[in-house]
Each structure stands twice: as C-alpha cells, then as structure tokens.
Amino acid sequence: MSSTTYPSVRAAAAPRVRSAHAEASRSGIWVGICTITMSFMAFISALYVRQGASADWVHIVLPRILYFNTLALLVSSATLEMSRRALPATPEIDGSAVRRGLGWLTVTLALGLFFVAGQYEAWRQLAAQGLYLATNANSSFYYVLTAMHGLHLLAGIGALLFVISRLVVAGNRFRRSTFEATAIYWHFMGVLWLYLLLVLRTKL
C-alpha cells in the first residue's frame, strides 16, 4: 500500500533481508492480534447480551479526558512511524539514524505513558462520581474493557522499552523484526482503543 503512495521512500530503502525467523515474528504478531481481537469480541458480545438481558442498564457519561488520551495514542502511532522511517532496514545503521529513531521512540513512549496516566485519571473521575466496578453493569464493562486494554497496552510499553534498550545497547546491531512486530502491535492497540471507545460511547 505504502509503496504506491510513497515510492521515493521505498526506493530509498535498501532491499530487505528477511530470515525465516523475521517472518515468524511477523506472523506471530498477527496471530497474536487475531487472538486478542477474539477476546475483545467476547467481552463486547457479553456487553450487548448483558445490556439486553435486563432493564437495569444505565448509560454512563464518559469522562472528557478520554478524548485527550485518544489523541495522544493516535499521535504516538504517528511518532512510532517516524521512528520506523528514521531507522532504515539495513543490518548496519549509522549513529545519526539511531539518534533520530531513538528520539521518536522516546516521544512514542512518553505519549503511551500519558495515555495510561490519562486512563487512570478517567477511572478516578468516575470513582469521584460514585461509579465503581460493581455499581452498575455499564460501569462494570467500562472498567473491565479499559483495564484489559490497559494491560495489553502496558505489554506494548514493555516492548517499546525493550526496543529502546536494544537500540541503546546494541546500537547498529538491533533486531529489526522485533521493532517491526512492536510497531504493528502498537498500531493495533490504537485501533482497538478507537473501537472500544466507539462501543462505550454508543448508546444502543
């Protein structure tokens, strides 16, 4: 897709060297995304069944800060892409590229942490309104879905930290496939969050 949109960028990149292991990490991350998607489908199906099961469903008003969090997560995907562009797919990477890549990665990490802090703040705001996990069915699902997404996102932050540490320590010999897998996962976390926000916000 991107090869047709940005031919110059692709042409500039060196020919890709792919080992079976790099392929496996790519399929692995996509297979992982399938299973995570399935889990969230189960949660969301449960949400709709539970909503229809009895008349006690009370729609909660989502805290405003969620929209800032969403923005931060979307921007973090963009900064991660910037970092990916900065680090060419060659085995040997020069120092300045590593510095640029690291810079954008750090911004991505900061935005990710901002998102997590913001989600925590949203919980506090709900709690201040007296809405806890067991208050009503909608608040139960709100806490469950955001907590599960948060846990998965923390795994993404762990992966980012790992990639950063490898770049700092190993510099030009870091494993590109790990970085690629992390990037795919991170973007997926953003898409998943958009979907969850839509589900939580929609009043059926």
Minimum distance of another protein from residue 57's CB (angstroms)? 8
Q: How is the chain classified by DSSP, letter by letter? A: -HHHH-HHHHHHSPPP---HHHHHHHHHHHHHHHHHHHHHHHHHHHHHHHHHH-TT--PPPPPTHHHHHHHHHHHHHHHHHHHHHHS-SSS---HHHHHHHHHHHHHHHHHHHHHHHHHHHHHHHHHHTT--TTT-HHHHHHHHHHHHHHHHHHHHHHHHHHHHHHHHHHGGG--HHHHHHHHHHHHHHHHHHHHHHHHHH---
Q: Does 56 bind another protein (CB under 8 A)?
A: yes
CB of 59 or CB of 99, closer to another protein: 59
Minimum distance of another protein from residue 4's CB (angstroms)? 21
Please, how many CA atoms are within 13 Å of residue 55, restricted to the half-sphere of its CB?
0
Residue type at 187?
Answer: H
Minimum distance of another protein from residue 25's CB (angstroms)? 8
Q: Does 154 bind another protein (CB under 8 A)?
A: no
Minimum distance of another protein from residue 121's CB (angstroms)? 21
Q: Does 60 bind another protein (CB under 8 A)?
A: no
Contact residue for another protein among 60, 75, 89, 133 (CB under 8 A)? 133
- Considering only 34-42, 84-92, 99-107, 192-200, which stretch makes contact with another protein by CB under 8 A? 34-42
Minimum distance of another protein from residue 59's CB (angstroms)? 14
Distance CA(37)–CA(202), nearest Å, equals 19
Q: Does 23 bind another protein (CB under 8 A)?
A: yes
Minimum distance of another protein from residue 86's CB (angstroms)? 26
Q: Does 13 bind another protein (CB under 8 A)?
A: no
Where on the chain is the footprint of another protein (CB under 8 A)? 19-21, 23-25, 27-28, 31-32, 34-36, 38-39, 41-43, 45-46, 49-50, 53-57, 133-134, 137, 140, 144, 148
